[in-house]
Structure 1
Amino acid sequence: MSAPGQKRRRYTRSPSPTYKLDEEDDSYEPYIPVAKRREAKLAKLSSYGASAQKDKAKLAKEAEEEREDEELEEERRREKTRKERTLLVEAQEVHSRKNAEDAQKTEAEKADEADAQILAAIASRKKLASDMELAKGIEYTETLKTTWRPPKHVRERTDEQNAKIREKHHIIVDGEDIAPPIDSFADMKIPVPLLKFLKTKRITEPTPIQLQGLTVAFSGRDMIGIAFTGSGKTLAFCLPLIMLALEDEVKLPFTRGEGPVGVILCPSRELASQTYENILQWTEALASSGDYPRLNTLLCMGGISMGEQSHVLNKGLHIIVATPGRLIDMLEKKKFNFDSCKYMCMDEADRMVDLGFEEDVRNIMSFFKRQRQTLLFSATMPRKIQDFAQQSLVRPVLVNVGRAGAANLDVLQVVEYVKQEAKMVYLLECLQKTAPPVIIFSDNKNEVDDIQEYLLLKGIEAVAIHGSKSQEERQYAIKSFKSGAKDVMVASGVASKGLDFNDIQHVIIFSMPKEIEDYVHQIGRTGRSGKTGIATTFVNMNTPEQTLLDLKYLLMEAGQKVPPFLQTIEDPRAAQGGSLKGCPVCGGLGHGISNCPKLEDAQRRTMASHRSSQDVGGGY
């Protein structure tokens, strides 16, 4: 309270502001966008001259930033719109575009695209090298050096002269710095005792694969050798290893625990045994002359006792001929090692990979402690295997005599339509075409036994060989047939790969194999080493049409007579307007990769192995 007698001051309140809400008020100013206000201000400042340049630049920068912000906002808006679209809408648009593109393609183009996708899928496997090399990223870029050199007059030849020699012998080569072809064993600097021995076997001059293949192998190069059956491939890869081992033994003799210098891998026991016997003959011819040391060779395969070869293991070891399974077993038991091994050859290399030996080969390679010279030889090596080998070898040289998978031109191919129930009777007629020895092929083991029993009942001396027989039975069959004690050998595919039988004039294919590669190997048991032979093949309604088409093209390629019933078979690819190129998996000329029987069998085996592994793993 205020004191008595004192006047109270009166406070007055300020008036409240008034707002005009009438939109029609004349004082209302319309909104002007920021960009336009800046432009107006910029125009106003431009009249001030040089003093306002700084402000003008600032405003220009702000205008540029404003434009970028607007573009960014627009991009965000579009992105939001894209995200709001459903996956179904996008899938429908992609599907409609694909349908539009497919409508413009021919059936042939679609088939080619499908084949390319399948080939790309099966080609994506790791290269042929040991796990250690793959893990450490070890990659060799230089080839092995050797002391061998061609004679002076050969070195002085021009590239054109070398090309003429290759063209004369139908040799196709591919690679860098390829050794020149030499058409004389003497000019290859092969030891005289070995030359004399080869003459006793009527081998006086090199065959086309030897003419070029030997010089490539002598020079230390990795090599892919392809030539028709009976062309002398065994000598082309065994002789360089013998010379290499001979050179090392002369420098410093091997003692117990040392070696081998090289190894030769074979897909079957029969082929390994045959290669081993050839090497024994050639090394014995060198040692018996007294001018060269004796080389020790070991045969390493299943079905034989390794104890019988303990005398070889107790010495220095130079050469091993082996099948993959037994070789891995001996390496793991440390009966010998590959510390000084520098040469590896795979005979029938495409079969080594296709028969499921690929992982075994990688396992064997893991025992090598150094770079090695690698050679792959076969009569049938499809493009898929060639590409695989090219990326696995070091600067490889491809030596190809004729088309890979082509039939031997020295074999007269006769294809006859014979009903299933008439085959046995007609077989006896076919046996009258030529004098023995004769080989009869069938892929069915039971049929092999039935044919042998039928021939024995008819008084014909016959033996049988297939995978279910014991090693002793198989060795007896081959030995008695080679010696002439038996006139006929009935065999499954096990005898068709690389085996060399003397003076066989006639091969009868009782049941046509599904894969044309097997047919090429089977007819190749005759017409060997420049001789001629006959191959008679039985076909009927049970033979798949695709197999018959492969056979038709093979006959046409070899200039053979095509029977009328084969001529009537049309290629469905021709109706589609597609290219009639061969299958890159099996080399068959009558189908593409999508219809390849070899690929189907491989997929079937893979699925079967998966099922068996699941069954084993699921039990207690």
Structure 2
Amino acid sequence: MAPAPAPALTADPASSSSEAPTYKRRRVVEEEEEPMYKYDDEDEDEYEQKRYVPLKQRKAAELQKIARLRAGGVGAAAGSASPQEGAQSPKRRAQDDEEEGEEAGSSVVKRSTQTLLKEARELREKEAKEQKSEAQKQREEEAKILEAHAARRKLASDLELAKGINYSEPLKTSWTAPRFVRQRTEEENTILREKNHIISEGVDIPPLIDNFRDMKIPRCLIDVYLKNKGIKKPTPIQMQGLPTAFSGRDMIGIAFTGSGKTLAFSLPIVLFSLEEERRLAYTRGEGPLGMIVCPSRELARQTYEGIKAMAEVLAQNGYPTIGVLLCIGGISMAEQSHVMGKGFHIVVATPGRLQDMLEKKKFNLDVCKYLCLDEADRMIDMGFEDDVRNIMSFFKQQRQTLLFSATMPKKIQDFAEQSLIRPVVINVGRAGAANLDVIQEVEYVKQEAKMVYLLEVLQKTSPPVIVFSDNKNEVDDIQEYLLLKGVEAVAIHGSKTQDEREYAIKSFKDGKKDVMVASGVASKGLDFNEIQHVINYSMPNLEDYVHQIGRTGRSGKTGLATTFVNMNTQEQTLLDLKYLLMEAKQRIPPFLAAIDDPRAAAGGNALQGCAVCGGLGHSVKDCPKLEENQRRQRAGMSGADGGGY
């Protein structure tokens, strides 16, 4: 059966009315949709604002605006718009004109009081202030180096540091200056100090006294001991140093070699011991009252012999007996046991043996009130600092501390001032300056010709003569060569036994030997009689040079110092030597005069000096002493040649 056909969609008009509903087709009129964005003039202005404008056009527009403002202010600016601005809407142009008018008004006011030339000058001045010169940069760099190396603890005992003990007042003593000295005004004291070339710094500085009798020193010491030494009046360091020490004040004493520093610190400790013994005699196991620490054995023995001689003179004139103990390496302390057995007042020691005796409790520092560090910069400055700090940990009470040296740079002075109690700094001449009584000669000698030329130089003066070398093997070679040539010579250096060192010193002092060949152990503080000539076979660093040439020209006498230099000598050391000769007004050889200072070319102060070692020919960042100290620290070394136990 076939399917029925589908109904037609359209019907005949006649039959559609009766059979099915009719459908009318309507024309659909599409409504206009509202646009998503409406544009008006404001939108156009906003678009213009946000539209990217190339940099070149922006600069051109700014230049035109500036030109219009200069030409005639707001009116001219409104009349000459750029093509780009002309394309903007009237509303936008009105806003721009209003803003330009305000800017124009403020600019006109500003330019009426300040010109472009003035602005440019102010900018240049500002840049000049902000920009640092090379000298300023160098000073800042040096300050940072010093700050890094100065960051260390105070020189005090561990007990004081642990408990935070700080003493504010110096020790009191029974000594007072005579009334007429105390009644002097500060202006009169200042005139006296200037007359004797003494620079004193501190609070309540004791007055200067220019003769021994007014210092209330026992007459027997003046008439016997000092007279035998040929000392008739105090030297500048003694004029100010002795009253300061007698007053119980902490002190830093700086003076050139041969100026009498040893007497300035040894005489007070003798008189303090004398007063203490008079009050109550020391018995077995008591003492010491005071202590002097030296960097080398020879210097300690020399100081000990001087104090022992003063004690003997006092004992011979009816004063109480003073016990003096020598505590140095290389000798048996059994020899000193009788001194410790009776009780003693003064110890003269080197750091190594002193530490050993204190740790073994051979004696203690329970009643010790006086401490002197001779050649203090040598011990405080990196080498013996830990040793000295360990020694100070044995103190049980406040003490009077004195530091003495011929070369004490500013860095060491600052560190020492922090460790002392209201210290008095006494300076006779510049720290590290050479003795002006020494005639300095510098000669260029090739290394292979030194030994032969030495014989010729020895004939400049009569004996005794000291020859210094910084190499122990070279010291022995020079002595052997001089003995072969018939010259009576002895040698001393740190590797020799204590008996050999003492024999060399004694035979040379007694005049049995004409020449002593020595390393640095004989350069610090040793006082030899009538040394005519010092020869530096090899040029040392500047500090050692000052100490070595200071073995002659002592106590106001004139001496001669000859130094050999050659290509092996560092240029920096030669520059230091050049400035030292200039300062002392000595003859400068042509090869030294030809050396230029790079700091002078950079605009630095060539004569400012190094704060670490006092050398005038280099700055802190180039200091050889600082490099040596760093090398020593890395190697784990401490101490100096021949100075310890």
The TM-score with structure 1 as length reference comes to: 0.81
Counterpart of 2:295 (choices 267, 278, 283) is 267
Distance 1:489 1:599 in 2: 31
For 1:452, the equivalent position in structure 2 comes to: 479
Matched, 1:569 2:595: yes
Query: Structure 2 matches for 1:469-618, cutoff 5 A?
Result: 469-513=496-540, 515-580=541-606, 581-609=608-636
Deviations 1:32-91 (A, max 9, x none): xxxxxxxxxxxxxxxxxxxxxxxxxxxxxxxxxxxxxxxxxxxxxxxxxxxxxxxxxxxx
List structure 1 runs of 4+ shifted beyond 2 angstroms. Answer: 100-110
Q: In the TM superposition, what is the alpha-carbon distance from 1:109 to its structure 2 partner?
A: 2.4
Q: Which amino acid aligns with 1:498?
A: G
Query: Structure 2 matches for 1:425-436, cutoff 5 A?
Result: 425-436=452-463
Identity %: 73
Structure 2: segments with no counterpart, 5+ residues: 1-32, 35-126, 638-645
Contact kept, 8 Å, 2:277 with 2:320, in 1: the verdict is yes
For 1:126, the equivalent position in structure 2 comes to: 153
Counterpart of 2:274 (choices 242, 246, 251) is 246
RMSD: 1.6
Distance 2:132 2:635 in 1: 37
Q: In the TM superposition, what is the alpha-carbon distance from 1:355 to its structure 2 partner?
A: 5.7
Deviations 1:422-453 (A, max 9, x none): 11111111100111000000001111111111
Q: Secondary structure at the match of 1:360?
A: helix
For 1:185, the equivalent position in structure 2 comes to: 212
For 1:161, the equivalent position in structure 2 comes to: 188
Query: Structure 2 matches for 1:38-437, cutoff 5 A?
Result: 104-197=131-224, 198-290=226-318, 292-354=319-381, 356-437=383-464
Distance 1:103 1:200 in 2: 65
Distance 1:459 1:102 in 2: 70
Distance 1:103 1:138 in 2: 45
Q: In the TM superposition, what is the alpha-carbon distance from 1:110 to its structure 2 partner?
A: 2.3
Q: Secondary structure at the match of 2:636?
A: helix
Q: In the TM superposition, what is the alpha-carbon distance from 1:353 to its structure 2 partner?
A: 1.9
Q: In the TM superposition, what is the alpha-carbon distance from 1:258 to its structure 2 partner?
A: 1.0
For 2:40, the equivalent position in structure 1 comes to: none
Q: Which amino acid aligns with 1:547?
A: T
Contact kept, 8 Å, 2:377 with 2:408, in 1: the verdict is yes
Deviations 1:545-572 (A, max 9, x none): 1100000000010111111111111100
Distance 1:364 1:494 in 2: 22
Q: In the TM superposition, what is the alpha-carbon distance from 1:102 to its structure 2 partner?
A: 12
Distance 1:535 1:359 in 2: 35
Contact kept, 8 Å, 2:197 with 2:428, in 1: the verdict is yes
Distance 1:241 1:593 in 2: 37
Q: In the TM superposition, what is the alpha-carbon distance from 1:331 to its structure 2 partner?
A: 1.2
Distance 1:505 1:156 in 2: 44
Q: Which amino acid aligns with 1:211?
A: M
Q: Which amino acid aligns with 2:201?
A: D
Q: Secondary structure at the match of 1:356?
A: coil
Contact kept, 8 Å, 2:381 with 2:412, in 1: the verdict is no
Deviations 1:284-320 (A, max 9, x none): 1111112x11100000011001001111011121000
Distance 1:101 1:267 in 2: 51
Q: Which amino acid aligns with 1:186?
A: R
Distance 1:594 1:101 in 2: 26
Q: In the TM superposition, what is the alpha-carbon distance from 1:167 to its structure 2 partner?
A: 0.6
Q: Which has the larger radius of gyration?
A: 2
Distance 1:252 1:126 in 2: 37
Q: In the TM superposition, what is the alpha-carbon distance from 1:368 to its structure 2 partner?
A: 0.9
For 1:443, the equivalent position in structure 2 comes to: 470
Distance 1:156 1:261 in 2: 32
Distance 1:126 1:579 in 2: 31
Deviations 1:127-163 (A, max 9, x none): 1011111111011000000010111111111111111
Q: In the TM superposition, what is the alpha-carbon distance from 1:381 to its structure 2 partner?
A: 0.1
Distance 2:179 2:232 in 1: 22
Q: Which amino acid aligns with 2:216?
A: K
Q: In the TM superposition, what is the alpha-carbon distance from 1:524 to its structure 2 partner?
A: 0.2
* Number of residue pairs aligned between Structure 1 and Structure 2: 512
Q: Which amino acid aligns with 2:385?
A: E
Q: Secondary structure at the match of 1:433?
A: coil
Matched, 1:463 2:512: no
Distance 2:257 2:192 in 1: 22
Distance 2:159 2:311 in 1: 34
For 1:13, the equivalent position in structure 2 comes to: none
Distance 1:302 1:400 in 2: 32
Distance 2:146 2:382 in 1: 19
Contact kept, 8 Å, 2:170 with 2:422, in 1: the verdict is yes
Contact kept, 8 Å, 2:294 with 2:373, in 1: the verdict is yes
Q: Secondary structure at the match of 2:439?
A: strand
Q: In the TM superposition, what is the alpha-carbon distance from 1:354 to its structure 2 partner?
A: 2.9
Q: Which amino acid aligns with 2:442?
A: V
Q: Which amino acid aligns with 1:265?
A: V
Q: In the TM superposition, what is the alpha-carbon distance from 1:106 to its structure 2 partner?
A: 3.0
Distance 1:115 1:551 in 2: 22
Distance 2:352 2:303 in 1: 17
Q: Which amino acid aligns with 1:554?
A: L
Distance 2:144 2:129 in 1: 16
Distance 1:316 1:102 in 2: 68
Structure 1: segments with no counterpart, 5+ residues: 1-22, 25-99, 611-620
Deviations 1:557-604 (A, max 9, x none): 011111111111110000000122100000000100001000000011
Distance 1:536 1:228 in 2: 19
Q: Secondary structure at the match of 1:263?
A: strand
Q: Secondary structure at the match of 2:199?
A: strand
Q: Secondary structure at the match of 2:526?
A: coil
For 1:8, the equivalent position in structure 2 comes to: none
Distance 1:587 1:264 in 2: 25
Contact kept, 8 Å, 2:576 with 2:618, in 1: the verdict is yes
Q: Secondary structure at the match of 2:284?
A: coil
Distance 1:102 1:219 in 2: 50
